[in-house]
Structure 1
Amino acid sequence: MKHAVLPAKDALLLACRVEPRDDHPLLRGIHLLAGLHERRLREEVDATHFHAGRQTLALAIDHWVAAELPVPRGGARMHTETLGSVLDRLAEHCALAHAALSSAPKGQVHEAWELLAELALGYQDLAIDLTAGSRRLPAIPGARTRSNRADASSTNIECLFSRQRRPVSLAEAGRSASKLALSA
């Protein structure tokens, strides 16, 4: 099934909380990222493995985005971080906002949800600009893009963490990230 290139902010926020019904790679990716952040808030996790899992998932997202986004127009403004980083931050703040509901004072709860809303709106604005080709993301070394790919598939992602440089699906990256987070 062919997906809309970038999902809406509401779909991303929902995917942070529940298993996505749509098999869109970005929805699966943010769901896995949110799971890592929720686990870190619930229990002690090894920081090295936690961050390695986040980086693996964010990089897999970045490779998918590089292969699927339209080539930006000449003169497109540069965004300061990759979409994998943006989604990681969104997943982190979603986990923090939901955790605040049960334990934080009312003022902190409001601040956490306000920040999450601002991040979601920022993502939506970025998604619109990226899709229109008026903004571009930092280059990902080794990523296949629409301008340089031969037959890159939306279900395969070149993962820099793989020594063989074989295509890795987002599901494989998620399993790797989960294994990294679990082996403490």
Structure 2
Amino acid sequence: MMRAVCGVAVSGDPVLHAAHELAALHERREQLAGGDTSEIDWQRAHLVCEIDRWVVLRAPRPATTAPMHTESIGAVVDRMAHFAALTYRALACGAEAQLRAAQTRLHELACGYDDLVVEVANGARRLPDGPADGTPENGGAQPSRNLPRTE
């Protein structure tokens, strides 16, 4: 995941591809500085929904007692892409304090993302906007536990 949000194109995995696209959109957004970002933000929202849909279709059903996470996986990936873009911008500007702050946040988010992926894959964490009626959204197919990690 870190490679994808840091600009390395990944093929084959839809979540990593969307993460890479989110990173590119955040870089474009940073360059607009005060311009109209509504189209970029709409594209980001679409990619976040695509990630979330992919996760819901492939993650195992969580236990009914599993705690709810405050954000979807797509939202976490979007924030990771944002901090990757801020890291590159601070690096390009020579802004060391901002660079360290962005790198720290990106690292913290990567750790949190890894923890969240493990919990979701184990059914120990529920996500917002997951299936509410108790039936699997994947049509009863065996869920995949291979959500992308930050490695």
TM-score class normalised by the smaller sequence: 0.7 to 0.9
Provide the identity percentage: 38
Shift of 1:83: 1.1
- In the alignment, is residue 101 of structure 1 matched against residue 101 of structure 2? no
Root-mean-square deviation (Å): 2.3
Who is 2:125 aligned against?
Answer: 135
Where do 5+ consecutive residues of structure 1 fail to align?
A: 1-11, 155-184
Shift of 1:54: 0.7
Who is 1:118 aligned against?
Answer: 108
CA contact (8 A) 1:77 1:134 kept: yes
- Report the AA paired with residue 101 of structure 2: E
Who is 1:181 aligned against?
Answer: none
- In the alignment, is residue 39 of structure 1 matched against residue 28 of structure 2? yes
Shift of 1:140: 5.0
Shift of 1:40: 1.4
CA contact (8 A) 2:76 2:113 kept: yes
CA distance in 2: counterparts of 1:151 and 1:53, whole angstroms: 31
Where do 5+ consecutive residues of structure 2 fail to align?
A: 144-151
Who is 2:149 aligned against?
Answer: none
CA distance in 2: counterparts of 1:140 and 1:58, whole angstroms: 14
CA contact (8 A) 2:56 2:137 kept: no
Who is 1:78 aligned against?
Answer: 68
Shift of 1:150: 2.8
Aligned length: 139
CA distance in 1: counterparts of 2:111 and 2:80, whole angstroms: 10
CA distance in 1: counterparts of 2:67 and 2:32, whole angstroms: 40
CA distance in 2: counterparts of 1:58 and 1:133, whole angstroms: 21
CA distance in 2: counterparts of 1:138 and 1:62, whole angstroms: 9
Who is 2:139 aligned against?
Answer: 150
SS, match of residue 128 in structure 2: coil
CA contact (8 A) 1:68 1:146 kept: no
- In the alignment, is residue 26 of structure 1 matched against residue 15 of structure 2? yes
CA contact (8 A) 2:66 2:123 kept: yes
CA distance in 2: counterparts of 1:125 and 1:102, whole angstroms: 31
CA contact (8 A) 2:67 2:126 kept: yes
- In the alignment, is residue 90 of structure 1 matched against residue 88 of structure 2? no
Which structure has the highest strand share of the two? Answer: 1
CA distance in 1: counterparts of 2:9 and 2:14, whole angstroms: 12
